[in-house]
Amino acid sequence: MRIIKDKQVEAFIENIGHRASAYISEDKIHNAVKKILNDVKRNGDKAVKEYTERFDLIKLRNLLIDKKKIETIADKADKKVVRMLELSAKRIRVFHEKQKEKSWTFSKEGITVGQIIRPIERVGVYVPGGKASYPSTVLMNVIPAQVAGVPEIALCVPTPRGEINPYVMSAIRLLNVEEVYRIGGAQAIGAMAYGTETIKKVDKIVGPGNIYVATAKRLVFGEVDIDMIAGPSEILIIADNTANPSFIAADLLSQAEHDEMASSILITNSMAFAKKVSDELKNQLNKLKRKDIAKRSIDKYGVIIITKNLNDAVDIANRISPEHLEIMTYNPEDLLPKIKNAGAIFLGEWSPEPLGDYSAGPNHTLPTGGTARFSSPLGVYDFIKRSSIINFKKEGFIRLADAVKTIADIEGLEAHGNTIRVRLGCLI
């Protein structure tokens, strides 16, 4: 793993930024996805079935996976795994219950203002089902929607060559999701965004996917809302020489094995420690089943940054704004107040990032590509709408009439001011 410092750090940070933007800006993919979306918009189910046959090598009569089929496939899952999914689901639900907001009003001197909290009416959830299937994605995307009170949840999961993952079906059964479609890719995003004969249009689409899914979500934004554009996975670790090199190497590789564009970064103030981690990483890498993917990721986007002190490490971390940030220092809590930008923060050597992926409770759908500077993990707040309440009695109207009329006049909006003048005329 490369060890860099000083001017090399600036070049690396710039390269990481370009990697994120390039992920969803390739013209060839953009044009291909746009064609699929337009076809689905025009031809509905017919187009969805044709693309499913082409890409997933399965000819579908029905897009829906009925409840009986979900039950049958879920019954094939290992019972221990199902129990672990149940444990994780409980923790995820408890955490997200803490995020619920309440409607409120405030009244004084004839004026009542407030805010009504309502759930989004209909949400589409995308669950990957290609190279790998992720029951945890079902839990992390469906549970906050349920906690928010979303009445309709439609879930799309591809079934390449007709294979339906029993653990994904177990998660679906656990959460009692009944509207499940066996489609994926850009065509699934189009079906949810525009609606088809079978699939009713949704109001928001959430869930991760490959570059085609990410591009499709970007293109339908505005027609529907989306959670975020999920780029390649990232981990950044701040550590001093009190940390365990084998722990850090394992955690860096946990993200590198995702795909070759994943980024794994260690920042430390000790060159001797950096070399220990680099050696340990080589040893662990060779034992991984996905070592080829992890190696390409580490070679291209993996790096160990040497800084003079931990404050400099924090500054670099805030500039990179990683999806996952681990702090493994003598007192990790001391650095926490200085962290401004990170999707999820893991403190101490017993808080490895995969805990957050599966069972800790907080959501694992996190901002990537530096977007933690301005966005947040998926949560209940992503599935609600806020409406303002404005209720004036006569005395309240009189109190603010002159202010409204004056501002409307200086902005040149005569009709706005007239709404006040007309009412004031009735009071004479």
The pLDDT of residue 15? 81
pLDDT tens digits for 116-164?
999 999 999 999 985 568 999 999 999 999 999 999 999 999 999 999 9
pLDDT tens digits for 200-246?
999 999 999 988 999 999 999 999 999 998 888 999 999 999 999 99
The pLDDT of residue 129? 82
Domains 3-23+231-361 and 27-226 agree in fold: yes
* Active-site entry in 234, 257, 280, 323: 323
The pLDDT of residue 14? 84
**Could you write out the DSSP letters of every residue in 20-43?**
HHHTT--HHHHHHHHHHHHHHHHH
For residue 17, pLDDT over 80 is answered with no
Contact 176, 222 (CB under 8 A): no
Parse the chain into domains and list their residue ranges: 3-23+231-361, 27-226, 393-426
Q: 152-163: buried (b, 16+ CB within 10 Å) or exposed (e) per residue?
A: ebbbbbbbbeee
Distances (CA, A) of 259 to 180, 215, 245, 376: 27, 18, 23, 23
DSSP H or E run through 302: strand 302-306
Q: Spell out the residues 6+ positions from residue 156 whose beta carbon is closer than 8 angstroms to its own.
A: 124, 125, 126, 127, 180, 181, 182, 183, 184, 188, 191, 192
Q: Name the nearest CA neighbour of 58 among 157, 153, 126, 139.
A: 157
CA–centroid distance for 87 within its chain: 22
Can you list the positions of beta strands (E) in 132-186?
A: 152-156, 179-181
Q: How many CA atoms lie within 13 A of 416 on its CB side?
A: 12
* Active-site entry in 96, 258, 324, 364: 324
Beta bridge partners of 306: 5, 268
324 belongs to the catalytic site: yes
163 belongs to the catalytic site: no
For residue 65, pLDDT over 70 is answered with yes
CATH of the structural domain 3-23+231-361, one choice from 3.40.50.1980, 3.30.70.890, 3.40.605.10, 3.60.150.10: 3.40.50.1980
pLDDT tens digits for 160-195?
999 999 999 999 999 999 999 999 999 999 999 999
CATH class as words, domain 27-226: alpha beta
pLDDT tens digits for 323-336?
999 999 999 999 99
Over residues 72-88, mean pLDDT = 97
Predicted structure pTM score = 0.94
The pLDDT of residue 278? 96
Percent of all residues in the chain with a pLDDT value above 70, rounded to a whole number: 97
